Amino acid sequence: MAAVYSLFIINKSGGLIFYKDYGSSGRMDTNDSLRVASLWHSMHAISQQLSPTVGCSGIELLEADTFDLHCFQSLTGTKFFVVSEPGTQHMEALLKVIYELYTDYVLKNPFYEMEMPIRCELFDLNLSQAVQKDRVALLGR
């Protein structure tokens, strides 16, 4: 059973720049993934405004019956979020790792254009390794 269902990265204006699904559950077609991405972007922004706490940085975790959605927003407004099995642990740490991979293999790549869809071989490679490692760690427990 896959712990991580899918991963999204959205740019600061809410456009989907990276989408990948792992395993069979929650698979989406291109239109749906784009819709989820921009929907999440708006919900995140609204939650920031509605929150009673001062200086709220938006939703970090959405718990539903069939999935958990963990979100991490970088300082520049790029959002990373994973949809996972309910109750999956250490997703924050995984998101940090993914952010690190993004800064290394996407931002330091001279052929990447900011805010555009990510098509970097090294990023894909290291990402699948990171998720794989995470999955192995989960199975081991």
Partner 1 sequence: MIGVGKAKQYSNVLDKPLSKGKQEVSLSAFSFLFSELVQYNQTQVDNIAELERRLEDAGYSVGARVLELLCHREKGNRRETRLLGILSFVHSTVWKVLFGKVADSLEKGTEHEDEYMISEKELLVNRFISIPKDMGTFNCGAFVAGIVRGVLDGAGFPAVVTAHFVPVEGQQRPRTTILIKFAEEVLRREARLG
Closest separation between CB of residue 119 and partner 1, Å? 7
Is 110 one of the binding residues for partner 1 (CB under 8 A)? yes
Does residue 116 belong to the site contacting partner 1 (CB under 8 A)?
no
Closer residue to partner 1 (CB): 42 or 103: 103
By CB under 8 A, tell whether 109 contacts partner 1: yes
- The answer to whether residue 22 forms part of the interface with partner 1 (CB under 8 A) is no
Q: Which residues contact 117 (CB under 8 A, 6 or more apart)?
A: 16, 17, 18
Residue of the chain from 12, 20, 90, 119 that contacts partner 1 (CB under 8 A): 119
The one among 13, 30, 53, 111 contacting partner 1 by CB under 8 A: 111
3-state secondary structure of 1: coil
Considering the complex, state which of residue 71 and residue 118 has its C-beta at the smaller distance from partner 1. 118
In angstroms, rounded to a whole number, what is the distance separating the alpha carbons of residues 114 and 17?
A: 10
Interface residue with partner 1 among 120, 127, 131, 134 (CB under 8 A) is 120
Closest by Cα among 23, 4, 25 to 89: 4
- Amino acid present at 116: M
**Comparing C-alpha atoms, which of 95, 128, 98, 124 is closest to residue 112?**
124
Rounded CA-CA distance 13/18 in Å is 14
- The minimum distance between CB 4 and partner 1, in angstroms, equals 21
Residue 108 near partner 1 by CB under 8 A = yes
Residue 80 CA to residue 139 CA, distance in Å, equals 24
Interface residue list for partner 1 (CB under 8 A): 104-105, 107-111, 119-123, 125
